């Protein structure tokens, strides 16, 4: 046996040395085109990267921030689809009380993977997609500070995703059933190999996020153009900088805790054993990372909303300075609230009170932002284009998600609602209702820049309304389910006591909402893909008419310059000209101002 392994090792070693030797032979990758010229999408020539390798090799070797942004975005949307399909299976199982068409074990696996997928494989990477593509453009940098580290950070993600989903993909291996929180002792004692793979995958995504954060910090500090000062740094870059600071302190801790968990599982250490560091140590370490993670996910989307709302309200962001200060305040306070996830673990009541106070205090900077968004819109020249609709949806849903969080921060309320669907409803209002909405707003707002085309307006509005209705149907139902005492994480609810009829009805409403959400997202994907391929070309460097209100910004200026370059090379094609918000001839900007 050992002989076979050694022979295999020697073979692998020789192969790898050969590969490495081959790579070092190729001196100039910029000019290396083994698979023929052209790009994968056939539309990328306008990026002015003619010096890059062609074909698949371009995407495998690129260190350009815009290409890496596109890669991050594509990856995150695939993960969003996978996480969405997982939760659809769960919601269909919950349509009726009994165990119907999937086992409880499989439900637990889906539950675990859905959470990890949406937070780490969709949420963090899609923000990195925006950051990579737009932060250098917004601050006038040529690229990220460390382009190669940028590429390493991205390429850690696909293997990470395959490992997180490994339990489903590899036959004969049971997927992890630990929930995304991976509480010890369950996560230590569960023998599934899928759990090891998931933890390793998660560790990789954490390393990736940390490398990305270091890059964003270095870029924003050192690569700004001469005319971009701290005073006029845009709000999105401010939130990316704060988020990167949070990642720098939070993710290495998650990485260390995950390594400790892997060592407990595979090398016999006792970090989280009762006779060692105790299972509660895991909860402290996990939530010291886990709560800042919420703000890691929400701050850049808040930045997107703060950036986009003024451009469709025809005026500058109200109280810019205070929006920046509130971002920094949230960043600092986020590290002082972790134990509000642990009020029911027997924590000292004096500690509970202090964590409650800090948790409640976070409502203040959050409210500062909310009031500033509302005040920016107040009496403004509101244009209800799709990005603006999603921003307004963000504000509405964030208020519900935020206020329900204020209740949960209070110890006595938390004791009642802990581990119920109320918690699930609360954080989904923030994650789906707010974060995902801001991401959709960003995708639509900057669609002309990264595709050179405009999306289809009617499909986009359909996407918004279906998402808004589906989100509220599903997650408001969950808030009421929580008040009725329905515990979270259960695959069945065929109980004999309690308000079973109301619980069944609310579960069915939540499932109907999820189906509405699914239909909305299918329309979204169709819109993005078809518009990217065949949408009307944008020929104006100011597709949102930002110059009218003196809100024209640096990234559209860059886009305009690129359009000029393209026009100089164009062959006089006769494609239709795009209208604002992808509208048809009959809808111009004025008709959108309501």
Partner 1 sequence: MAEQADVGDRFPTASPWPLFVAVGFTVTELGLFIGIFPVAVAGVLLFGASVAGILTEAEYVGHLWKTMGVFGAVLAAIGLAMVVYGGGVGVEAALGAIDAPNVVGNRLVSRGLAVGAAGIILAVTAATGELLEPAR
- Nearer to partner 1 among residue 21 and residue 98 (C-beta): 21
Provide, rounded to whole angstroms, the least separation between the CB of residue 169 and partner 1: 14
- Nearer to partner 1 among residue 148 and residue 415 (C-beta): 148
The contacts found for 264-269 with CB under 8 angstroms, 24 or more apart, are 264/184, 264/188, 265/187, 265/188, 265/195, 265/196, 265/199, 266/196
- Nearer to partner 1 among residue 139 and residue 389 (C-beta): 139
| Out of 36, 98, 191, 226, the residue judged to bind partner 1 by CB under 8 A | 226
Question: CA–CA distance from 129 to each of 65, 72, 135, 213, 557 (Å)?
Answer: 9, 5, 10, 12, 20
Other Cβ atoms closer than 10 A to 153:
26
Binding of residue 224 to partner 1 (CB under 8 A): yes
3-class DSSP assignment, residue 420: strand
- Residues 6 or more apart in contact with residue 240 via CB below 8 angstroms: 127, 131, 135, 216, 220, 300, 303
| Out of 41, 74, 100, 148, the residue judged to bind partner 1 by CB under 8 A | 148
- Residues 6 or more apart in contact with residue 213 via CB below 8 angstroms: 243, 244, 245, 247, 248, 251
Binding of residue 20 to partner 1 (CB under 8 A): yes
CB 72 within 8 A of CB 502: no
CB 505 within 8 A of CB 445: no
Provide, rounded to whole angstroms, the least separation between the CB of residue 265 and partner 1: 8
| Out of 23, 497, 568, 569, the residue judged to bind partner 1 by CB under 8 A | 23
Provide, rounded to whole angstroms, the least separation between the CB of residue 35 and partner 1: 13
Binding of residue 231 to partner 1 (CB under 8 A): no
Q: Which of residues 151-190 bind partner 1 (CB under 8 A)?
A: 151-152, 154-156, 159-160, 163
Bridge partners of 577, per DSSP, are 537
Q: Which among 187, 190, 160 is positioned nearest to 286, based on CA atoms?
A: 187
Q: Which of residues 267-296 bind partner 1 (CB under 8 A)?
A: 267-268
- Residues 6 or more apart in contact with residue 33 via CB below 8 angstroms: 53, 54, 55, 57
* Cα 311 from chain centroid (whole Å): 23
Provide, rounded to whole angstroms, the least separation between the CB of residue 30 and partner 1: 5
Binding of residue 570 to partner 1 (CB under 8 A): no
- Nearer to partner 1 among residue 28 and residue 550 (C-beta): 28
Count residues binding partner 1 (CB under 8 A).
Answer: 60
Binding of residue 61 to partner 1 (CB under 8 A): yes
Separation of alpha carbons 312 and 478, rounded Å: 33
Provide, rounded to whole angstroms, the least separation between the CB of residue 237 and partner 1: 14
Q: Which residue has the tokens 């076979």?
A: 4
Please identify, among the stretches 76-84, 192-200, 318-326, 533-541, the one whose residues bind partner 1 according to the rule CB under 8 A.
192-200
Backbone angles phi, psi at 453, to 5 degrees: -130, 175
Binding of residue 209 to partner 1 (CB under 8 A): no
- Chain positions contacting partner 1, by CB under 8 A: 1-2, 5-6, 8-9, 12-13, 16-17, 19-21, 23-24, 26, 29-30, 32, 49, 51-53, 58, 60-64, 140-143, 147-149, 151-152, 154-156, 159-160, 163, 193, 196-197, 200, 203-204, 207, 222-226, 262, 266-268
């Amino acid at each position: 046996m050992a002989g076979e392994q050694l022979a295999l090792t020697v073979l692998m070693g020789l192969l790898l040395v050969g590969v490495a030797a081959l790579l070092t032979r190729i001196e100039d990758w910029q000019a290396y085109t083994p698979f023929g010229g052209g790009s994968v999408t056939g539309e990328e020539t306008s990026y002015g990267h003619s010096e890059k390798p062609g074909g698949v090799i371009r995407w495998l070797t690129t260190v350009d921030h815009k290409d890496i942004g596109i890669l991050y975005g594509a990856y995150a949307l695939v993960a969003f689809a996978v996480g969405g399909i997982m939760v659809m299976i769960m919601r269909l199982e919950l349509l009726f009380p009994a165990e119907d068409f999937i086992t409880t074990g499989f439900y637990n696996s889906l539950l675990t993977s859905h959470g990890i997928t949406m937070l780490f494989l969709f949420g963090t990477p899609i923000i990195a997609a925006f950051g990579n593509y737009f932060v250098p453009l917004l601050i006038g940098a040529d690229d990220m500070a460390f382009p190669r580290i940028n590429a390493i950070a991205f390429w850690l993600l696909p293997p990470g995703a395959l490992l997180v989903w490994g339990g489903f993909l590899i036959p004969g291996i049971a997927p992890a059933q630990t929930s995304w929180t991976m509480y010890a002792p369950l996560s230590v004692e569960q023998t599934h190999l899928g759990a090891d793979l998931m933890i390793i995958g998660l560790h990789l995504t954490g390393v990736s996020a940390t490398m990305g954060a270091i890059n964003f910090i270095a870029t924003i500090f050192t690569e700004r153009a001469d005319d971009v000062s701290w005073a006029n740094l845009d709000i999105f870059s401010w939130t990316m900088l704060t988020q990167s600071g949070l990642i720098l302190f939070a993710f290495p801790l998650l990485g260390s805790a995950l390594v400790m968990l892997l060592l407990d599982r595979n090398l016999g250490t006792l970090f989280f054993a009762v006779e060692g560091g105790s299972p509660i140590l895991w909860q402290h370490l996990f939530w010291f990372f886990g709560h800042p993670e919420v703000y890691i996910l929400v701050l850049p989307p808040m930045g997107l909303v703060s950036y986009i709302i003024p451009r469709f309200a025809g005026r500058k962001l109200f109280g810019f300075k205070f929006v920046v200060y509130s971002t920094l305040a949230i960043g600092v306070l986020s590290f002082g609230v972790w134990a509000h996830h642990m009020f029911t673990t027997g924590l000292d009541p004096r500690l509970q009170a202090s964590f409650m106070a800090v948790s409640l205090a976070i409502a203040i900077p959050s409210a500062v932002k909310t009031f500033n968004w509302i005040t920016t819109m107040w009496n403004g020249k509101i244009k209800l284009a799709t990005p603006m609709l999603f921003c307004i949806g963000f504000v509405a849903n964030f208020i519900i998600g935020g206020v329900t969080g204020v209740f949960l921060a209070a110890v006595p309320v938390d004791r009642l609602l802990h581990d119920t669907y109320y918690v699930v409803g609360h954080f989904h209002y923030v994650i789906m209702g707010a974060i995902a909405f801001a991401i959709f707003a960003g995708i639509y707002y900057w669609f002309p820049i990264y595709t050179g085309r405009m999306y289809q307006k009617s499909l986009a509005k359909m996407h918004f309304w279906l998402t808004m209705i589906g989100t509220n149907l599903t997650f408001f139902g969950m808030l009421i389910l929580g008040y009725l005492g329905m515990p979270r994480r259960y695959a069945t609810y065929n109980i004999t006591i309690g308000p079973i009829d109301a619980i069944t009805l609310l579960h069915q409403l939540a499932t109907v909402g999820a189906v509405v959400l699914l239909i909305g997202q299918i329309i979204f994907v169709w819109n993005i893909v078809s518009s990217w391929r065949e949408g009307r070309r944008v020929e104006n460097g100011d597709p949102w008419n930002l110059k009218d209100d003196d809100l024209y910004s640096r990234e559209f200026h860059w886009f305009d310059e690129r359009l000029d370059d393209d026009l100089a090379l164009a062959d006089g094609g006769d494609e239709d000209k795009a209208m604002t918000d992808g509208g048809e001839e009959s809808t111009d900007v004025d008709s959108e101002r309501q």
